[in-house]
Structure formats: structure tokens, C-alpha cells
Amino acid sequence: MSATETTTVPASLADQRNPFTRIFDPPPPLRVTTANTALLVVDMQYFDAHPDWGEGRTAKELGVAHCFDPYFAQIDDIMPRIQRLLALFRAQEMEVIHLRVAELTNDSRDVGWKQLVRGLIVPADWREADPLDEVAPVGDELVISKSSSGVFPVTNLDRLLRNMGITTLVMTGTSTGGCVESAVRDAVDLGYDVVVVADACAAGTEEDHQTALVRMEGGLTRVVTTAEVEELVGALPSGSRLARSGIERVKPFLPVPSAAPPAPDADPYSLIFGEAVWLPLSQDNTALLIVDAQRLTCDPAAGIGRLAEARGEAGNIDDYYARVNAALGGMAQLLAAARDTGLPVIHVRTAGRHPDGRDLGRKARSQGIRSGRGSVEAELMPAVRPAEDEIILDKPGSGAFTGSGLDELLRNLDLQHLILAGVSYDGGLESSIRSATDRGYGVVLVPDACAAATESRQAALWGMEGGITQVKPLAEITSRLVTLAATAPGGTSMS
């Protein structure tokens, strides 16, 4: 399968090829296995792929059905090829995912604005929402509903693919320059390898179809034929859905009955959940994340300290600032150890992009916080002053992920685990832990390099271990980092 060329694009469109494809580095080798590759069937449904329903019916009612004859001829032409690919992927026990334009409600009250103003509503219970019978889902194949052209901005498809370990997407369906291309462009921006099956996609006209193929190919997008996909996938060793089954993979983590009776004050959930898993931290997969170690949260003369003074509450948060000062010392130790080890360091602070902070989240603004980029409140504390190559991200709310670009950064750096420290005046650390682990990142929380709003919340940090969250003292983590720096220059994981 060619990575950069396709035999399906006619020479007449050669002048539309992006000239930069000859300047850029060639794409990396295409990664295709039965475990990491999924077939996506895009919008092959009654709404937009059948002449008697949806868009086809609308065309008839408006007296322009004949203008769609070439399009529906293309649908008829690609149908057998999509069926062949479906049969192949199913035989190889590979993932098949069906995308469709459809709302989640029966009256389309959740329709997207883009769809609404074009008159494109597809209520969940309408026939138009159903995949065509010829390519209908089998068994528990995923069906993703989207009230949009693209699928990634408005659904949880990316999360599902990440959970399943899918990194390569084989795209078929309609329309080539519409919903298919929207999915392709978002997918490659998210780091997926994409294979567009040229003769298994359709567009309004043949010229539109070919032009879209030329527009998409290059980089992580390969444009190929059905036969080429069949040759590549057919040569793979047989896959195993059983090996990917969550029912099977969960078995090592299920708790076993205890011979001892539970303590009277035991957390009931601790009796049914297993212990936190071991996280294989290494220089290659782990970053130090420091949250909100800035003058807004740490300097009594600025930010929330100034708010407290203005409202006569300064004396009530003296204990908080004592915890902050202690935590800053711990953060400085972590920072030095991470730098010596070569771990990436990421600082996330509460700050708007506008100098006056008017683009902060509504919650922060409602609290009277106005820290903007370049403001005194946005300055990081001297104890954790960033090195020149360390990354600073701005967040509009409490947690480190929402609105900051942190998830995309970690993904692009291929990082899986975080060592977490910082300040939690309003639940920022707790929110960050939840957001990180919900996204599949392992977290090592270091409470003695953290400061919480109250003493009870500070103590509660030590009780947050579970699942893929470990809670470890500063001395243990710095020791592990020192050991890693000394014994694992190539990124060997540390126990």
C-alpha cells in the first residue's frame, strides 16, 4: 500500500495536489494490526445514502432528483466494496464502527446549529437515522450518532478509540468531501493514521469526489483502493476479540474475598474495589505537573489574598498560606529531581489569555478572579520558576485539563503518567486528578508538595489512592526520581 500516492486520482487533477507534500518529510510507516485498526463506515444511512429517504426524498419534492442521479449511482457502485471490507474486518475480528447523522432525541431538540440552519434534522427514531440494510451493524458494533458533519468535535469517539487502543482508521462512506473529510482532518490532527478507501467513498459528483481525495492525501492520510486494503488486512494474522474484551481484561483486577471481617468504619467501596495499580514511571512516559503555584494562589498580597484582605477575611486563611509555603518547598524539591532526571515539566496556572482575564471561565469570574496573562496574579512563584524549556499552560477554571490544551500536549508528547503537585484553593488538584484519570492517565499525587484550602482537605489528599491514582510521600518520589536518573538513562521504568 503506497503511503503518498494513489492510482485513483486522475492526471487531470494533478495540478491540485499540494506542492508541499514533496517538501515535507515522508509519512511514518503505516501501522496496521488487527488490534489497532478499525473500519469506519461514514453516514451510509437512509438519510443521505438512499434516493427515497432523507435528502433523496427532499430532492424529489423539490423537483431536482435527477441532479442526484450521479451521486446515488456512486452509492450503488461503492456498496459492494464496503460490504467486502465489512466481511473482511469481521472475519479478522477487527473493530467496525458506524457513524451516522442523527440526533439523540426523537424531536431533534439537540440538533447542532450548523445542521439546523441547513434544514438537516434527523430525529433518533426516524427511518433516516438507520444505517442502510446492506451495511447494517452486526452484533455490538459501535454506532455513533452525530448532529454534525464531523464526528470528533461532538461525540466521544476519540475517547472510545483511545480506550480500545485504536490508532489507525480505515474510512469509507459518504460524502468524500463532506463528512468523510471532516472526520479525516480531525483524526489526523489527533494523531491517528488514516486510510481513505477511494473506491469505497462517494460524493455529490465524481469531480467533487476526486478533488476531495487529492485535497486529503498526504501526511498521515493515505488514499488507497479497496483491493489494497484487502491485500494488507487479509495478510494479517487472525485477530481476537476475546483478547480485547474488557470482561477478560478486568479479571486480574477483581478483588478477592477477605478472611477478615471489615472494620466498622471501613469505606464500603474499599471493600469491593481493588488496590491502586502500579504505574511504570519512566523518563519517556511521565511528566511532572505543577498546578496553580502562582501569585494568585500563593501570595497573600495578591489575588485571593488581596480579595480576603478587602473583605476582612485575611486572618481566616493564615493557615492556608502556611500550607502553601510548606508545599512550595516540596514542589521545589520535586522540580529539582524532575529536572535532574530529564522528565518533562509542565506548569498549569489559572490565567486568561486577555490581560484583564475577561476570558476566564464563568466560575472564576464569578468569584472575582481576574488573573490575565501578564498580570501579577499570573506570575509563577520563585520556588517553581520555570526553566527556559518548560511549558506553561493557562487554564480558565479549576482543573488543569479543561480549556488548557493539556490533554493534547500530553498526547503529542506520548506521555501516559503524571506526578502531580500544586495548590488547590478551590479543588483544582482534585479536579485535575479526576480529569486525568478519566482520560486514562496514571497519576502519582504527592500531598506534601500540595496545599489545600483547609486542613481537612489537606488530609483528604492522602486518601485519594485507588485505581490509576497513587498517593506517595515526597521523599519516596524524589528517591525514585534519583534512582531513575542514575540507573535508567534510556528510560527504563522504575518500580
Domains in the chain and their CATH numbers?
A: 11-241 (3.40.50.850), 286-487 (3.40.50.850)
Q: Which amino acid is residue 104, in one-letter code?
A: L
Strand arrangement of the beta sheet that strand 442-452 belongs to: 391-395, 345-350, 286-291, 417-424, 442-452, 469-471
82, three cell numbers: 464496503
Task: Write the CA distances from 91 to 232, 239, 477, integer angstroms.
Answer: 14, 9, 47
Q: What is the pLDDT along the chain (495 residues), one digit of tens a residue?
A: 543 334 444 555 656 777 787 788 888 999 999 999 999 999 999 999 999 999 999 999 999 999 999 999 999 999 999 999 999 999 999 999 999 999 999 999 999 999 999 999 999 999 999 999 999 999 999 999 999 999 999 999 999 999 999 999 999 999 999 999 999 999 999 999 999 999 999 999 999 999 999 999 999 999 999 999 999 999 999 999 999 999 999 999 988 888 888 888 888 888 888 889 999 999 999 999 999 999 999 999 999 999 999 999 999 999 999 999 999 999 999 999 999 999 999 999 999 999 999 999 999 999 999 999 999 999 999 999 999 999 999 999 999 999 999 999 999 999 999 999 999 999 999 999 999 999 999 999 999 999 999 999 999 999 999 999 999 999 999 999 999 988 765 544 444
Nearest to 6 by CA among 235, 221, 233: 221
Element (H, E) at 306: helix 303-310
Distance CA 44, CA 238 (A): 27
| Beta carbons of 211 and 14 less than 8 angstroms apart | no
Own/partner long-range contacts of 57-61 (Cβ < 8 Å, ≥24 apart): 58/119
In this prediction, residue 3 carries a pLDDT of 38
In this prediction, residue 10 carries a pLDDT of 56
| Beta carbons of 337 and 444 less than 8 angstroms apart | no
Distance CA 345, CA 330 (A): 15
Nearest to 298 by CA among 391, 448, 422, 392: 422
Q: Which residues face 286 on adjacent strands?
A: 417
Element (H, E) at 201: strand 193-202
Nearest to 110 by CA among 147, 143, 144: 147
In this prediction, residue 18 carries a pLDDT of 76
Q: Say which DSSP state 413 is in.
A: T
Residue 426, helix vs strand vs coil: coil
In this prediction, residue 12 carries a pLDDT of 56
In this prediction, residue 7 carries a pLDDT of 42
Residue 219, helix vs strand vs coil: coil
